[in-house]
């Protein structure tokens, strides 16, 4: 659905081993490459939305281009707004993900930049592709909850307006994305019930400009079983059902957010003004390239399976590599070339 996307998110914070002073030995040994084990866990159904997996049934998917722009100028500039209370470790984890998207991020295959390569196959009517490069242009921390600890679809635009003024952020019409991330104590209209994140554009009457933006919340305290799935599973499964998977960076809330952020960025870039790439006849509830593959992370997914993903020697689940030795579990996206959901860890 257009501004309404559902995804999942959750995680604890990663203990970041960065080689700052004092440590007698550099951290080189952490690149100890262990062959990951492939797993294909069956999990209980998610509680949020009906399955939107269309894998292997491309005639049911009517993804069409509606003549609007995509984010083709390079690089795409992300203006990050940290709303509420964030730890340095949480910020670093999310920034490591964002900077893993560009092709110059050194990460072994399957990688985040290979995943974004699929998004870059979308073009506009001039034949320009979605940019392959993304940078964090500027950050702003709103630790004082300037618009309260409950936000709505409209007040989120005030958060952006305040940040544009205070940071100050440039008004970047050409290739800017304003990404608002709310901490786990911030509630949001429809969060957990209908959405885990959404993207849209701001209104001139609220912000002064039309700027594409996305919001993603940390669901760690509020609804990890909904928005940080599969790192948390619904309570009604009790002791009988399969358990949750271990998050790759040990932060259920933030590891879960990563896949939601990925989903929103993919859709925002291919449908920034909600008039480019989407399926369905209703532009107020479009099904976009992330929605089509929600809950799918690997080959053979569907019907309660997330698909073939990897697990490291500590049993943490992931499906792609990022910068700085990071691992992430990120949902697949719809490939316009394959007319199917695709990801870098595909086995076929």
Ligand X SMILES: *[C@@H]1O[C@H](CO)[C@@H](O)[C@H](O)[C@H]1NC(C)=O
- Name the minimum Å distance from CB 289 to ligand X: 12
Q: Please state the closest distance from residue 336 (CB atom) to ligand X, in A.
A: 5
> What residues line the site for ligand X (CB under 6 A)?
120-121, 123, 129, 336-337
Nearer to ligand X, 75 or 336 (CB): 336
Contacts of 53 (CB under 8 A, 6+ apart): 292, 293, 294, 295, 296, 301, 302, 341
Q: Taking the complex as a whole, how short is the minimal distance between the CB of residue 152 and ligand X, in angstroms? A: 37
Q: Which residues contact 50 (CB under 8 A, 6 or more apart)?
A: none
Kindly tell me which of 49 and 270 has the beta carbon lying closer to ligand X.
270
Q: Which residue has the tokens 């262990």?
A: 34
Alpha carbon distance 289, 215 (integer Å): 17
Say how far apart CA 329 and CA 227 lie, in whole Å.
13
Least Å from the CB of residue 132 to ligand X? 7
Contact indicator for 252, 231 with CB cutoff of 8 Å: yes
Minimum distance of ligand X from residue 287's CB (angstroms): 19
- For residue 87, whether the previous peptide bond is cis, meaning omega lies within 30 degrees of 0, is no
When the beta carbons of 118 and 216 are compared against ligand X, the nearer one is: 118
Query: Closer CB to ligand X, residue 79 or residue 116?
Result: 116
232 vs 39, 244, 251, 256, CA distance in Å?
A: 17, 5, 11, 9
What minimum distance in Å lies between the beta carbon of 130 and ligand X? Answer: 8
| Measured distance CA(228)–CA(243) in Å, rounded | 13
- In this complex, which beta carbon is closest to ligand X, that of residue 73 or of residue 129? 129
Q: How many Cα atoms are found within 13 Å in the side-chain-facing hemisphere of 185?
A: 9
CB of 57 to ligand X, least distance (A): 21
Nearest in space to 329 (alpha carbons), one of 340, 318, 338: 318
Nearer to ligand X, 65 or 145 (CB): 65
Cβ proximity to ligand X, 112 vs 245, nearer residue = 112
Give CB contacts under 8 A, 24+ apart, made by 236-243. Answer: 237/44, 241/44, 242/41, 242/42, 242/43, 242/44
């Amino acid at each position: 659905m257009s501004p309404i996307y559902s995804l999942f998110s959750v995680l604890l914070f990663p203990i970041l081993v960065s080689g700052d002073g004092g440590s007698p030995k550099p951290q080189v040994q952490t690149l100890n490459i262990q062959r990951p084990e492939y797993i294909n866990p069956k999990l209980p159904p998610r509680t949020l939305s009906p399955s939107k997996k269309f894998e292997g049934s491309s005639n049911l998917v009517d993804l069409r281009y509606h003549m609007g722009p995509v984010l083709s100028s390079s690089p795409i500039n992300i203006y990050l707004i940290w709303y509420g209370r964030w730890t340095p470790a949480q910020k670093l984890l999310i920034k490591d993900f964002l900077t893993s998207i560009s092709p110059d991020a050194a990460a072994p295959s399957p990688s985040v930049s290979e995943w974004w390569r699929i998004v870059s196959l979308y073009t506009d009517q001039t034949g320009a592709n979605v940019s392959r490069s993304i940078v964090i242009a500027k950050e702003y921390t709103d630790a004082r909850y300037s618009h309260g600890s409950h936000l709505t679809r409209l007040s989120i635009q005030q958060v952006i307006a305040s940040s544009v003024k205070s940071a100050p952020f440039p008004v970047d019409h050409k290739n800017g994305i304003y990404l608002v991330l709310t901490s786990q104590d911030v509630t949001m209209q429809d969060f957990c019930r209908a959405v885990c994140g959404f993207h849209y554009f701001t209104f001139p009457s609220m912000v002064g400009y039309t700027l594409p933006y996305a919001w993603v919340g940390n669901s760690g305290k509020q609804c990890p079983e909904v928005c940080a799935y599969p790192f948390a599973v619904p309570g009604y499964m009790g002791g009988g059902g399969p358990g949750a998977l271990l998050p790759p960076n040990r932060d259920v809330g933030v590891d879960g957010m990563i896949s939601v952020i990925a989903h929103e960025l993919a859709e925002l870039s291919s449908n920034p003004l909600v008039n480019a790439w989407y399926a369905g006849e209703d532009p107020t509830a479009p099904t976009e390239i992330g929605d089509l593959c929600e809950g799918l992370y690997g080959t053979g997914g569907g019907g309660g399976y997330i698909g073939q993903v990897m697990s490291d020697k500590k049993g943490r689940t992931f499906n792609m590599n990022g910068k700085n030795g990071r691992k992430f579990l990120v949902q697949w996206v719809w490939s316009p070339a394959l007319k199917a959901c695709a990801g870098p860890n595909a086995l076929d």
